[in-house]
Amino acid sequence: MTVQPLTTIYFVRHAKVSYIPDEQLRPLSEEGMRQAEAMKTLFSNIAIDHVISSPYQRAIDTISGVAAMNGLPIKTKNNLRERQITDGPIKDFESFTERQWQDRDYKLQNGESLNEVQKRATQAVEDILKSHQDKTIMIGTHGTFLSAILNYYDSTFGYEQWQKMRMPAVYKMVFSNTTFISYEAVTI
């Protein structure tokens, strides 16, 4: 019997942020910086082989301590970014998001639907799995992006679970080649 190599991905939703309109440069809050520091303790006994992140500053900053602790660079990939809502701020983020989960093709002008985010997310994961087989990978990412991935592999993961997802949140996913095996929330 041949044992298939397993690849483990730790998806890390960014820590708490200080709101600024610039989506890409939005920084961690003071609490978020403490949360990011705590990531080092959480991952102190887990050997990480690769660290990959959304190019958004909050995602990078949340996992930078773990990358440094493992002596690894953070490779950024644009396709790991958060969903594009529209060109500017919206008034009722909660209602917008709930509607997107009800109608997964719904989107605002110049924005992405959840189906589009999910397609981008799952392709990004598949590409990472193909190039990093039998490795342990940490990916710094965002709530909607991560929820779209979890929903792809577990259709019961939806709007209510997205609402309850904390900042930061960590989910461990295990794959054999590109075949999904399991996932679990990691307690922070």
**Complete DSSP assignment for 91-152:** S-HHHHHHHHHHSTT---TT---HHHHHHHHHHHHHHHHHHSTT-EEEEEE-HHHHHHHHHH
Residues in the chain: 188
pLDDT at 21: 86
Flag whether pLDDT at 53 surpasses 70: yes
pLDDT at 176: 95
Summarize the confidence of residues 94-100 as an average pLDDT: 95
Summarize the confidence of residues 171-179 as an average pLDDT: 96
pLDDT at 77: 97
Residue 51 burial class via C-beta count within 10 angstroms: exposed 0-12, middle 13-18, buried 19 and up: buried
For 144, phi and psi rounded to 5 degrees? -70, -40
Summarize the confidence of residues 147-164 as an average pLDDT: 96
Summarize the confidence of residues 122-140 as an average pLDDT: 97
How far apart CA 8 and CA 124 sit, in angstroms, is 15
pLDDT at 4: 73
For 104, phi and psi rounded to 5 degrees? -70, -5
pLDDT at 1: 59
Q: In angstroms, what is the C-alpha Rg of the chain?
A: 16
pLDDT at 89: 82
Q: Which of 16, 80, 15 is nearest to 52 (CA)?
A: 80
Q: Are strands 169-176 and 6-13 parallel, antiparallel or unpaired?
A: antiparallel
Q: Report residue 16's pLDDT band, with 50, 70 and 90 as the boundaries.
A: very high
Question: Distance between the two ends of the chain, CA-based, in angstroms?
Answer: 37
pLDDT in tens, 101-116: 999 999 999 999 999 9
pLDDT at 131: 96
Summarize the confidence of residues 12-28 as an average pLDDT: 94
Summarize the confidence of residues 5-20 as an average pLDDT: 96
Q: Report residue 70's pLDDT band, with 50, 70 and 90 as the boundaries.
A: very high
Q: Report residue 3's pLDDT band, with 50, 70 and 90 as the boundaries.
A: low
Summarize the confidence of residues 44-64 as an average pLDDT: 97
**Mean pLDDT of the chain, nearest integer:** 95
